[in-house]
Amino acid sequence: MKKNGVKKSRKQTEIRLAGSGGQGLITAGIILAEAAILDGKNVVQSQSYGPEARGGASRAEVIIADGPIYYPKATWVDILLAMSQKASDQYSFNLKPDGMFIVDTTYVNQIPTTSALAIPISARTREKFGRELFSNIVALGVICEATKVVTPQALQAAVSDRVPDGTEKINSEALAFGRKLAKDALKERDEAENEAIEADS
């Protein structure tokens, strides 16, 4: 599309949430897609998982765009969440060079890049809420804060609409907790990068 002779770029973001069965990543993908719809975006959401209910591979993909989406599968992703070592090993090579790689270091011990946003999402969720059940919602909070791919208001509304009745409050707290984890991790990473620059200068 051209406006005043200048080609107008079409913004599209490809997201992959990957880990193990039982981590709630399929639900997280659906919630993220619904949040994007609430933000007025075009969305395609897909998922795949192994035959095992728990422990098998689980993957959700969301494509968010301002305009038409011509291919429904994520191929060269802008945002990757890895919540298992297998997911990190398998999908990190499909991340764009300037993409955001978010790693749950509770279950990912070997990270293939120093630029990843490394947060022990599941462990911190267990510490905060007594169990890892809300790790997927915490992870959504991390993604929202770190990438701004959806607005906090839309994500909050999508979470409240999707979670079981009576759990809205604790899921809202999990979302806010995830955003705080991301904020703290981004601050620490920026400080470390600044220190490295100063040391080299």
101: Cβ contacts below 8 Å, ≥ 6 apart: 80, 82, 92, 95, 113, 115, 116, 117
H or E element in which residue 183 lies: helix 168-200
Indicate whether 2 pLDDT > 50.
Answer: no
Segments making up each domain of the chain, as ranges: 9-200
* pLDDT confidence bin for 6, thresholds 50/70/90: very low
Q: Which whole number is the average pLDDT over 155-159?
A: 98
DSSP annotation of 68:
-
pLDDT digits (tens, 9 = 90+) for 23-82: 999 999 999 999 999 999 999 999 887 654 556 688 999 999 999 999 888 889 999 999
Question: Quick one: pLDDT at residue 3?
Answer: 43
Which of the four CATH numbers 3.30.750.24, 1.20.1250.20, 3.40.920.10, 3.60.15.10 does domain 9-200 have? 3.40.920.10
Q: Which whole number is the average pLDDT over 186-192?
A: 87
pLDDT digits (tens, 9 = 90+) for 79-96: 999 999 999 999 999 999
